[in-house]
A = this chain, B = another copy of it.
Amino acid sequence: MAVVVMKFGGTSVADTERIERVALHVKREVDAGNQVAVVVSAMAGTTNQLVEWVREISPLYDAREYDSIVASGEQITAGLLAVALQSKGVSARSWQGWQIPIHTDETHGAARISHIDGARLRARLGQGEVAVVTGFQGVEPEHNRIATLGRGGSDTSAVAVAVALDADVCDIYTDVDGVYTTDPRIVPEAQRIPRISYEEMLEMASLGSKVLQTRSVELAMVYDMRLRVLSSFAEPEQLPAADVGTLENTGTTVCSEDEIVESEVVSGIAYAKDEAKVTILKLEDKPGVAARIFGPLAEAAINVDMIVQNVTPDGAHTDLTFTVQSTELPRALEVIEQVKRDLGNFEVRSSDDVVKISIIGIGMRSHAGVAAQMFKTLSHKGINILAISTSEIKVSVLINADYAELAVRALHEVYGLDAQ
């Protein structure tokens, strides 16, 4: 018997038919003798409708009221799933954030969970009752106001609930049946990864794989909470019930490095299309000039990712290239225009016609030459590298967007990831 937390996103609960299907997934776990808590998102479309109403009334809405309004979406799903479970003979009860309670800080709209009191839920689970918990939200205790966690918050809710319940596994049901070595739409030979480490998953998530939210993987890593990525569209009776001994038989298990016996040097190839490149030409090369560019960007809360600096042949000037999220490009350019008034005569060029390709793998730590192989492969295909950034377990390169698919396919093959 295990304690299992199951999380279902908006497309998995988009209508009453799918909610009944989710109930069958939950029933399977209960019938196998597991104690189950379920975390649900709002029905797909509901949150958008609520947000639209708020914006119709006021584009400058109050974050507390916004939270109270949009939180109703998960409240509805949780109640409907509890009803669906009961109608299948499974004892169940819905729980909103304030009922458990799930305490958060005061950052309405992007709150962080500060504490979950798991005692009441654990007692109910012990009595064989399924707890259906509203994802994405908690209650800010000082003012007794609902606070939402921001985008992808339901994944984070699920992991936090799993930690509070000391669960054996946190199963994230989504519209794919696991994490793949790369996007199968680009590389048909892409393979499901049976096990992946938190660190690798974190890089995958922050580098463009949309399967899991970065914050939820971070939280799982801190508390060593095993995650599984499973498909909610699989037939409920075809998935085996969660059994900690055989987790790798289905989906992708995200776990600590020690649990992964054989690891590839490179586990996966990620790509992110939402990058934009900014180049500053003929910047006077004197101490502190980089700080005078990046300081104001940081103050404006614009995240700068890759940075490349060259000295021009005359030695008095420097060229600076960096990337930002393409949605933040207009704001970044505004900030730089202001800097230009102080720093004077440089040229600015920008483009969002770039893509970031990354190879990720904990095996890189112990294998030399992994990055070199990447650069060589791209060079053989005639692909120009615009910028590079690396970490202990990943290498990212910025290239022209036209070559994205070609680069991903070539790298997928060269690192031995293509299915046989």
Contact = CB atoms under 8 A, between A and B. Distances in A.
Interface of A: 16, 19-20, 50, 53-54, 56-58, 60-62, 64-66, 68-69, 71-73, 75-76, 78-80, 82-84, 86-87, 93-94, 96, 98-99, 144-145
A98 to B, nearest CB: 7
Nearest to A78: B68
A360 to B, nearest CB: 41
A80 to B, nearest CB: 6
Contacts of A83: 54, 57-58, 61-62, 65-66, 69
A75 B86 contact: no
Closest 10 CB pairs of A and B: A69-B79, A58-B87, A72-B72, A16-B56, A65-B79, A68-B79, A65-B82, A57-B84, A65-B83, A72-B75
- The A interface is mostly helix, strand or loop, or mixed, namely helix
Number of copies: 2
Contacts of A19: 57
A245 to B, nearest CB: 34
A94 B72 contact: no
Given A57-B19, A87-B57, A99-B144, A94 B68 contact: yes
27 contacts: A16-B56, A19-B57, A20-B57, A50-B76, A53-B80, A54-B79, A54-B80, A54-B83, A57-B80, A58-B83, A58-B87, A62-B82, A62-B86, A65-B82, A65-B83, A65-B86, A65-B94, A66-B79, A66-B83, A68-B79, A69-B75, A69-B79, A69-B80, A72-B72, A72-B75, A72-B76, A75-B75
A69 B80 CA distance: 7
A69 B62 contact: no
A56 to B, nearest CB: 4
Contacts of A73: 72
A341 to B, nearest CB: 35
A189 to B, nearest CB: 41
Residue of A20, A83, A144 contacting most chain B CB atoms (<10 Å): A83
A60 B78 contact: no
A76 B47 CA distance: 11
Contact of A98 (B54, B80, B87, B98): B98
Nearest to A96: B68
A144 B124 CA distance: 14
A101 to B, nearest CB: 9
A99 B96 CA distance: 13
A136 to B, nearest CB: 14
Given A61-B83, A69-B76, A75-B75, 4 more contacts: A16-B53, A57-B87, A62-B83, A66-B83
A57 B94 contact: no
A122 B391 CA distance: 57
A71 B71 CA distance: 12
A107 to B, nearest CB: 18
Nearest to A67: B79
B72 A68 contact: no
Residue of A60, A79, A93 contacting most chain B CB atoms (<10 Å): A79
A79 B65 CA distance: 5
A58 B84 contact: yes
Contacts of A61: 83, 86-87
Nearest to A71: B75
A197 B68 CA distance: 39
Contacts of A56: 16
A68 B58 contact: no
A54 B16 CA distance: 8
Contact of A58 (B57, B66, B86): B86
Contact of A87 (B60, B69, B78): B60
B68 A75 contact: yes
A217 B96 CA distance: 33
Nearest to A61: B83
A345 to B, nearest CB: 44
